[in-house]
Each structure stands twice: as structure tokens, then as C-alpha cells.
Amino acid sequence: MSKFDTYFLMTTEDAIEYAKLKVPQMEWDAESMECKEIGDGNLNYVFKVTDGRGHSVIIKQAGGVARISEDMKLDTDRNRIESEILVLQGKLAPGYVPEIYFYDTVMSACGMQDLSDHEIMRTAMLEHKIFPKFADQISTFMAQVLMGTTDVVMDHQEKKDLQRKFINPELCDISEALVYTEPYNDEMHRNNVFAPIADFVKEKLYNDEELHCEVAKLKMDFMTRAQSLIHGDLHTGSIFINEDSTMVFDPEFCFYGPMGYDIGNVIANMIFAWANGDVYGKTEFCTWVEEVITDVVNLTMEKMRAYYEEHVTDTMCKNEAYKNYYMDTILSDTSAVTGLELIRRIVGMANVKDITSIEDKEKRARAEKICITAAIDFIKNRDTKKCGRCFLNTLKDAIAAIDA
């Protein structure tokens, strides 16, 4: 019997005891063990346990309510889902996700590789750091994990087994509300709208029926098109990075959905980084971000196409015209989700520091209007965004429209 035989929310002292029990292979120096709670996300608790001999582990535990709002009750099974998908992603894209040492369905906790030699990408980009390998690395990760779990390449029964295993209704419900609904009507009265742009938001987002129709189409698509095992929350706070390496973590929102959801999340969050760099006059940083936006779109599509050609197993999907159609749908979804993520992080409940940390009110208002203007174009004209340059041009056109 151990105290960890029944679920409870751990303190830092508990996490030390837990690490000793669950990760004995670390050969801990018990005397010098320490623990800090380092979670800065909206949902979970993250403990970093170390000792004086250089051993360390990250323990992540799911609570029964979200950290961002106690009103939000959540199934702690998300920790199992997250652990299992990290193991699977590690097989599909070795070296791009942290190693999982164990997961525990009683404590709803897992132990994973400590990536302290990396930084959280959003935090690093707030200091306008540049990572020249990022576009190549994230595009490899997405191509291998996303294409590798489709019906195009997988045995269809095995794919359905995965789909069943990773059905994730509660976290999908959060995205359906926070990404696909509330930014367009504030129906739960929890949007965070920056006061100087309140009228702009009303006109451009709350009162545009044509936009609502497009978002409704995209919402139903998100809920019904089981294309690929997506990460489901691939923003720059879900990426650890350093000069040599990109590691993706925090896939608790994963489920079988449209793969453009992940690619669009990456692009939108690079646009937030760009907006922050622009405010602070960081020209070199902004130029790099612009290259990343273009390269991530182009490289991901190139690598996905190559993966498709090399690994396609479905007889009908070997048809050349179908392959082109399929790749086009990914681009269109990527554009739409770039827009959806831009909008929901500006006006929704969960915002991003890239924007909220801009102190000058006028500059922040301009940045927010640029993001919303680009977003509407990304959504409404999603079928016309056929290359990386087109994505960048959408941003440039929005800047021109707001500064006119």
C-alpha cells in the first residue's frame, strides 16, 4: 500500500516521494532532492524534481478542474491520453517529443524527460530569439506524425483502433467552444476583449453573418473529419526549443481531426510572435518569423506530399488527381485554422503573452486589429492560399489595410 493508491492533487513534497517511487532508475540522491511546481499552462500541474547529482524528471499531473477557471471541470483521463500519444508520436517522429518514463491512471500523472536544456518557444520568442532550424524541424514532425496516422497510409482497422483510443470528448468540447464558437458571439460572457478595439470586434466578428457561416462549416468539419491524429493545441507554448532541437509536448487535446488544425496553429502563433517583434522594432527577428511562416507552409506540404507518395496504401488514394485534391484540402484547412487561432487568442478566454504583454495601448490595438483582419481573410479566402508566400502576403495585406 502506498499513499499514491488513491488520487489526490500532489504538493511539491508529495512529488519528490512520488518520483522516488515511480522513477527508481534515476538512482536519486534522497538527501539533495528538490521540487518546484513550474506549470504555467491553463490546465495542469507540472513538477520538476531534481537532485544534487544531476538527476531530474518532470512530473505532470492533471487536476479535476482547469487552472484557468475552477468552473471548468475536466476528466483527468487526459493525462493517459497525453502519455499514450507522446509514446506514439515518439515512434513516428523520433527525437521530437520528450521520453515518457511512466504514466499512472490512478494519480492521473506521468513522468517525462526533463528538457531544461530547451526553452518554451513562446517565452524565448518574447525575448526575440531566433531558431534557424525550427521550420525544417517542425515541418518534419508534422509531416511524419500527421500523414503517418491517416487512412491514406494506415491499415484502416488499425486506424480505427487509434481513433477509438484517442477519442477525447471533453477537451474537444473546450476547443469547440473556445475556438469555434465564443469568439463570434461571447455567448458565455468570458471573452477578453481589449477595450480600445471593442467596436471593431463587434463589427468584424460578432455582427458578420457571412463569417459565422464559414466558421460553422469549419466547426462541423473539426467535429466530424477524422483525418489524422492531431496534437490539437500546437501553439508555441507547446514547443520546447533550442538552437539544435525542437521538441513538441502537451498533446492532451489530441484526437482524430483535420490535420490543418496543427499547421494553422503553428502559423498563427508565429504571427503573434511577429506582431510582438514588430511593436518592439526587432527587424531581424521579424524577418526570421516571416521566413518561418513561408517555410513552414511550403516545407510541411512538400514533406507531406513525399510521405503520401512513399507510404500510400489505400488503392483509391493512389490516384494522382485525388492526391492533389487531398493536399489542397490540407492547405485550405491550414489557412482557416490560422485565422481561427488568431481570432480566438485575441478576443477569447485564453490569450497569448505575445499580445497581452504589449504595454503601449495604441500599438497593442493596432497589432490586434492586424491579426483579426488577416484572420478574416485566412478564413473567408482559405481556398486561395496556395503557398507559403500567400500566407505571408495575407499578413502584409492586413498591415496595409489597418495602416491605410
Binding footprint of ligand SR1 on the chain (CB under 6 A): 41-43, 66, 68, 72, 174-175, 178, 233, 350
Based on the shown chain and the rule CB under 5 A, indicate whether residue 290 belongs to the binding site for Mg ion. no
Cα–Cα distance between 42 and 350 in angstroms, integer? 8
Alpha-carbon distance of 317 to 44, in angstroms, equals: 40
Q: Across-strand partners of 73?
A: 65
> Among candidates 89, 115, 373, 333, which has minimal Cα distance to 244?
115
Q: By C-beta, is 186 or 250 nearer to Mg ion?
A: 250
User: From start to end of 304-396, where are the E strands?
Assistant: none
Residue owning grid cell 462541423: 220
Query: For residues 219, 398, 141 and 298, what is the CA-based torsion angle, rounded to 10 degrees?
Result: 110
Closest CB to ligand SR1 among residues 170, 302: 170
Angle at 88 between CA 87 and CA 94, to 5 degrees: 80
Return the residue of 17, 28, 41, 84 that touches Mg ion, per CB under 5 A.
41
Closest distance to ligand SR1 from the beta carbon of 370 (Å): 21
What's the closest the beta carbon of residue 4 comes to ligand SR1, in angstroms? 26
Give the separation between CA 3 and CA 17, rounded to whole angstroms. Answer: 10
Least distance from ligand SR1 to the Cβ atom of residue 212, Å: 20
Which among ligand SR1, Mg ion, none contacts residue 273 (Cβ within 5 to 8 A by kind)?
Answer: none
Q: Which residues of 302-341 are buried (b: 16+ CB within 10 A; e: fewer)?
A: ebbbebbeeebeeeeeeeeeebeebeebbbbbbbbbbbbb
124 binds, among Mg ion, ligand SR1, none (CB under 5 to 8 A by kind): none
Residue 225, classified by CB atoms within 10 Å of its CB into exposed (0-12), middle (13-18) or buried (19+), is middle
**Residues near Mg ion (CB under 5 A), total:** 2
Q: How far is the CB of 123 from ligand SR1 (least distance, A)?
A: 15
Q: How far is the CB of 181 from ligand SR1 (least distance, A)?
A: 12
State the minimum distance, in angstroms, from the CB of residue 244 to ligand SR1.
Answer: 26
CA torsion 215-293-277-197 (nearest 10°) is -10
Residue 355 interacts with which of ligand SR1, Mg ion, none, CB < 5 to 8 Å by class: none
Q: By CB under 5 A, tell whether 232 contacts Mg ion.
A: no
Judged by DSSP in three states, 60 sits in strand
Min separation Cβ 91 and Mg ion, Å: 22
Residue nearer to Mg ion on the CB measure, 41 or 388? 41
149 touches which of ligand SR1, Mg ion, none (CB within 5 to 8 A by kind)?
A: none
**Toward Mg ion, which CB reaches closer, 141 or 200?**
141
Give the burial class of 139: count Cβ atoms within 10 A of its Cβ; 0-12 exposed, 13-18 middle, 19 or more buried: buried
> If contact means CB under 5 to 8 A according to the sort of partner, which of ligand SR1, Mg ion, none does residue 66 touch?
ligand SR1
Site for Mg ion, residues 243 to 282, rule: CB under 5 A = 250
- What number of other Cβ atoms are within 10 A of residue 91's Cβ? 11
* Residue 247 binds which entry of Mg ion, ligand SR1, none, CB below 5-8 Å type-dependent: none
Q: Name the residue nearer to ligand SR1 (CB basis): 14 or 233.
A: 233
| Closest CB 196 distance from ligand SR1, rounded Å | 24
Q: Of 42 and 329, which has the nearer Cβ to ligand SR1? A: 42
Question: Quick check: 148 binds Mg ion (CB under 5 A)?
Answer: no
The answer to whether 246 and 239 have CB atoms below 8 angstroms apart is yes
Residues making contact with Mg ion (CB under 5 A): 41, 250
